[in-house]
Amino acid sequence: MSEISGEMPLRESDYIAGIKHIAPLLVAMVPISLVFGGLAAQKGLSPLEVGLMSAVVFAGGSQFVAIDFWASPVPWAAIIFSALLVNVRHILMSASLGLKTRHMGWGKQMIAYMFLADEIWALSEHRGRKQHLSFAFYMGLVTPFYLNWVLMTAFGALLGKMFVDLDPAQYGLDFAFPAIFIGLIVGFWKGKSTAMVLAASGAAAILTKTYVDGAWYIAAGAVAGMLVGAFTADPEEYKGALDRG
């Protein structure tokens, strides 16, 4: 293999390396993808609609929330607004990773960040800490992960159609959402400060949900958690944090 310096359009070795790095996560994603497809089918979405949602949105957390809210007629405003709220975390993730991908240029970054997901982001940050994070490596992470999510969620919906009378609550499948979110929260765990953020968010969400209709409880919890996060932080710790990159 010849070693050519500079940014090649597609460096095969990096692309393969990306695929190898994401491989273990693919296995773990299959049951979650099938559960999502099954739950979406329960709410009346066709397998093609499920596949389209996964292909266009490609953000598991917000898709689970959307299906949780799904009804007939579709409460589209609440669903789109909650997708924005659930995915606000991407702003911080792309801000942080952006320092390691500037060399790609705007064009490639605009393509790459279409596929930014928690797992892709985490593995990219890890790669970028030690070596050059190439576009090829990033797309190597994305390709199988994206195809896996789109195809397996659609397949789950197809299987779900075979069990139309299945009550998700009877098999505890309704608890799959909270369980996934608890797992993700632990991924963001940083000790006591996180606990205080969670307490504020949970309390504000429940109070708001009790007195206000709609998805506003998510915004209320998010704002309460952010305020607690801001005021319990040691400003020195965050000074110039982004420049360390």
Partner 1 sequence: MAEVFSVDPMVLATILGMGIVTYFTRVAGLVIVRFFTIEGRARAALEAVPAAVLMAVIAPTILATGPAESLAALITLLVAFRLPLWAVVVVGVISVVALRSVFGLF
- Pick out residues in 205-244 that bind partner 1 (CB under 8 A): 205-206, 209-210, 217-222, 224-233, 235, 237-243
Q: Which is nearer to partner 1, 13 or 245 (CB)?
A: 245
Residue range at the interface with partner 1 (CB under 8 A); choices 7-15, 136-144, 145-153, 168-176: 168-176
Distance between CA atoms of residues 182 and 86, nearest Å:
14
Q: Does 59 bind partner 1 (CB under 8 A)?
A: yes
Amino acid at 146: Y
Q: Does 159 bind partner 1 (CB under 8 A)?
A: no
Q: Does 166 bind partner 1 (CB under 8 A)?
A: no
Which residue of 80, 103, 132, 211 would you call a contact of partner 1, by CB under 8 A? 80
* CA angle, residues 57, 23, 149, in degrees to nearest 5: 20
Q: Which of residues 174-203 bind partner 1 (CB under 8 A)?
A: 175-186, 188-189, 193-194, 197-198, 200-202
Least distance in Å: CB of 78 to partner 1? Answer: 10
Q: Which residues have CB under 8 Å from 118's CB, separation 6+?
A: 61, 93, 184, 187
Distance between CA atoms of residues 97 and 245, nearest Å:
8
Q: What does each C-alpha distance from 222 to 108, 208, 227 come to in angstroms?
A: 32, 12, 9
Q: Does 21 bind partner 1 (CB under 8 A)?
A: no
Q: Does 52 bind partner 1 (CB under 8 A)?
A: yes
Question: Which token pair is 123?
Answer: 């593995």
Least distance in Å: CB of 128 to partner 1? Answer: 14
Q: Does 125 bind partner 1 (CB under 8 A)?
A: no
Q: Which is nearer to partner 1, 140 or 160 (CB)?
A: 160
Question: Which token pair is 40?
Answer: 């979406």
Neighbours of 89 (CB within 10 A): 16
